[in-house]
Chains A and B, each alone.
Chain A
Amino acid sequence: MIETRALGKRYGDKVALDSLTLQVNAGEVMGFLGPNGSGKTTTIRLLMGLLRPTSGTAQILGKDCHSDSVALKRVVGYLPDEPFLYPYLSGLEFLEMVAGLHGFTGAEARRKAGALAERYVGAEAPRFCMTYSHGTKKRVALAAALLHDPQVLILDEPTNGLDPMAAKQMKDLVAQLAREGKTVFLSTHLLETAERLCHRVAIISAGRLLAVDEPATLQKLHGNDGAASLEDVFIKLLAPPAP
């Protein structure tokens, strides 16, 4: 479903992503874990065709993420880490615009946008996006990602900056999408979220993939007594080697 081969990205001398090879299967929720600045957002932006890879390839549903990016976006939904919205459009107008860009006609676009706005944005939908809190902006962006009923969802830090209630709703939503058979690739540094939601997790640090497996397997492999939490595994993998 999602496949990267030796995917790399450099910013001048700095290696942001170093030869990432990864595969995400259909219907799977893959957690992408790593500390700040480890290359999670870079990977996601490469998958969305927002960045040009320095080396390697990335494919989703057999389509190249860079050369086939237009066709790809018909089947992929994307939620960025910090979803900037047009300040002088209302949330409802924003969703209508996105619906129009996905090819829905006037009435259908309004119906879809209205339904999603009612579900995710509520009473704030007719107000300017500049008046929204971070959580509301994130909900508008999520609604935009779900508008065309995509097969694959790419979520960059979906619970980042949300209050506990909103974070719980987001996690429930991801779980529901997984039950519906969607493939979800989500980056997070909240280990509890990954442990609860993901079928498999990939741990990345300084642009390098350190481990990829089911959370339980990772806990068995890297825990001293087999009963370590995912947090313990994460810290152990990221710890510098003993002298």
Chain B
Amino acid sequence: MTTGLASVWRLVRVLVRFRLRHTWHSFRRGGHSGSRWLGVVALLLPLTYVGLFISAFGVVAQVAPWPVQAATLSVVVWGLTLASLMSKITGGDAVVAGTGENEFFLARPVSLPALVAARAFASAILDFWGSLFLLPVLAAAAYVWRLGARGFVMALAISVIVQISLTGCGQCVSLGLLGRVPLRRRRALATAFGLVSALAVAMLWALASFVLRQPQQFVQVVSPYAGFLNHTSLMILCNPLLALRAGGAQATVWLLALVGFALASVVGAAGVAAWSSRRGWQDAGLPYDTESLSPRTGAALSIAGKEWRMLVRDRARFVSLLAMPFLFVGVQLFGAVGMDALGTGPRRAGLVAYSLAAYLATLGPLPHMQGERRAFWILRSVPVPLWRLMWGKARAWLWIIVGVGLLAYAAMTVLGGDSLRDVELWRTLALVVFGSGLLCVLAVGVGCNAADLSDDGRNALGPGTVYVFLMVAGLFNVALLRDGVLAARTLVLYATAVGLVWSTGVHRAESALDPGRPRPLTTGDGALACVLLFCGVQLLVAAPAGLSVQESQMGAAVWAALVGLGVWLFLVSIRRGLRRRGEAVPALLANWRGQALLRSFGALVFAGAACAGLRVYGGAAPAPLVMVCSEELILRALLARSLQQRFGWSWRTVAVATFVSVVANTSALSWPVMAVQFVSVLAFAASRSVLPAVIGRMLMFVV
């Protein structure tokens, strides 16, 4: 017994020490520098949940008596715990038995029960956020109940102890069940587990949204059951904290009870592991069967057919895709607007349906290159142009994404009782179909553009890709929100931008396997920046109610400044990359005048953003200046030059294309504005430099 405990303790130390070291090294030397900093931001994000729960529990404490507060806390804690347990079961060691790390450890003098027990204990440190999963809720309760530092420590201890218990229970269940189920049914069982786990997470999300956004309504739901809940063992997880609030005498006893349960679950998991290893644990971990697939008939397997098969057979991805609508609908129903999402007209339904389609696209067509990985060689070895293969993928997803968007829209309009004679209903329907269709093309294009398949050791897509996609896709909402010419201009601009992103993406995908491929200025970059500028400004102008014209202009200028700043940083990073590879640097980025121009742009844009943000100026005086700088950076320094590079167009053609995009982008279109733009385009075409165009526009603005 003592030897066994020593063995477990030694293994815990080894696991913790080397995993932390590995994490630190991978952070320091990680491939995507952006992803590293995104990881740091992600580490800080959960802190915001503490604030949100404090706010929600503050409301609960105001409106509900003590027993209802306790029951409310218990319901939320159990929601979190069950969702976490399900994810522990699906990610348990039985499911991933064949991993390299397991093989590595089991090839040493380490028994499986010791490994399972050590993992459960080590998870308290290694699964950092997992260990703290209850902390935001419990700490918020401790804060609201004024329990001080002792309350916070108690919350932390409960969260860590429950985490160890859940890891033990999860391994116990997964090892036990998968060890008993025949091999041919194991895949189905694992898929079912995954589905239940995803649904549990979806329910949790809905529950958390409900509590955070509508705490008063949540209290009303819980109140009738508070008496019952307070007299059941369900309160065990919250009892240490509740006892502390009641005076503290029983708090340590309840905490020790939780510790006892955690130890029992780990011992149980170790026992099941010992039994499982005798039955052939390695075999129990196979996530798939080896049965033969039936021969198929019909046409040859197309790219679309391949995509569908891969989706249905890849259980993790399939389950995520199935769970997404539940998650989304749950958040919508229990979110800020609640059931009001139904019955507020076709436009609201259109926005929700389109957003659902956009989120689905992040799981489907966007990561399509992740599914290819290095199997992409076969698509590059067949005599079919890459654009046709990618179009096949987009077509495969069209059915799913447009279908789901359409279904969601139909369901909401039917439940909302919208009249079929309403022209608005049919207009929005057409926009939802068009927008969802474009989403598939955009997602495949963005996925192609960002994919780097040259290194097996890292993801094909960086984490920023999803955010870029969602930001651009979300801005189609302008077309759903606005009417008339503005909506039409949005559609044209959006479709053109998607076309350019697609063209760039397919072009860049041709060298996705090339680790040394250059990162030039692309038309996709220019198009994305244009869409971000135009649609973002439009949303800011249209969406907030009760803003003055000056405030709207200020908001638009801040947005333009941020996009402009992003473009400036991007241009600077491109210049560095080109120089590092010893390749020709575009004149704009190479000579001192270009650099000075970029720096002054950056300084102006930054100053504009700062001034607008701090409201140093009483009015919106700097707003047009900032807009001019940002527009010039986006439309001429980025879009025009990338068009010239990509298609080899003459400067005249580029100038005309830029003029069209400027006119399409201008928020308030009028003849004087068009005249100003025309003159600046002439200046740009004649000088092939952005500076005269900026000066010209500035002068005309002053005059």
Contact = CB atoms under 8 A, between A and B. Distances in A.
A94 B293 CA distance: 12
A49 B380 contact: yes
A37 interface: no
Contact of A98 (B291, B295, B305, B382): B382
Contacts of A85: 375, 378
B377 A84 contact: yes
Contacts of A72: 383
Contact of B383 (A10, A12, A102): A102
B517 A52 contact: yes
B382 A101 contact: yes
B293 A126 contact: yes
Interface string B290-323: 1111111111111101100110011000000000
A52 B292 contact: no
B384 A101 contact: yes
B516 interface: yes
A131 interface: yes
B25 interface: no
A99 interface: yes
B296 A93 contact: yes
Contact of A80 (B294, B377, B517): B377
Contacts of B582: 10, 13
B619 to A, nearest CB: 50
Contact of B295 (A54, A99, A126): A126
Contact of A89 (B310, B381, B510): B310
Given A11-B515, A12-B516, A100 B301 contact: yes
Interface residues of B, number: 45
B373 interface: yes
A49 B580 CA distance: 24
Interface string A46-79: 0011111010000000000000001111100010
B247 to A, nearest CB: 59
Contact count band on A? 35 or more
Given A96-B300, A100-B301, A127-B293, A89 B515 contact: no
A184 B653 CA distance: 47
A198 interface: no
Interface stretch (A104-112, A170-178, A222-230): A104-112
B288 A131 contact: yes
A50 B343 CA distance: 53
A155 B381 CA distance: 12
Given A12-B516, A73-B383, A93 B309 contact: yes
Contacts of A10: 516, 581-582
Contact of A50 (B377, B384, B580): B377
B111 interface: no
A48 B514 CA distance: 12
Contact of B293 (A90, A100, A141): A90
Contacts of B310: 86, 88-89
A22 B241 CA distance: 77
Contacts of B374: 82, 84
Interface in B358-406: 371, 373-375, 377-385, 389
Contact of A96 (B301, B379, B514): B301
Nearest to A114: B295
Contacts of A131: 288, 290
Nearest to A51: B514
B301 A71 contact: no
B514 A50 contact: yes
A191 interface: no
A88 B375 contact: no
A210 B303 CA distance: 43
A105 B302 CA distance: 11
Contacts of A102: 382-383
B511 interface: yes
Given A80-B377, A126-B293, A99 B309 contact: no
18 contacts: A9-B516, A10-B582, A48-B381, A74-B383, A84-B373, A88-B310, A89-B306, A89-B309, A90-B292, A93-B301, A93-B306, A97-B301, A100-B301, A101-B383, A101-B389, A126-B293, A127-B290, A128-B288
Given A73-B382, A88-B313, 18 more contacts: A11-B515, A12-B581, A45-B513, A48-B380, A70-B383, A71-B383, A72-B383, A73-B381, A74-B383, A80-B377, A84-B374, A86-B306, A87-B314, A93-B309, A100-B302, A126-B294, A126-B295, A141-B378
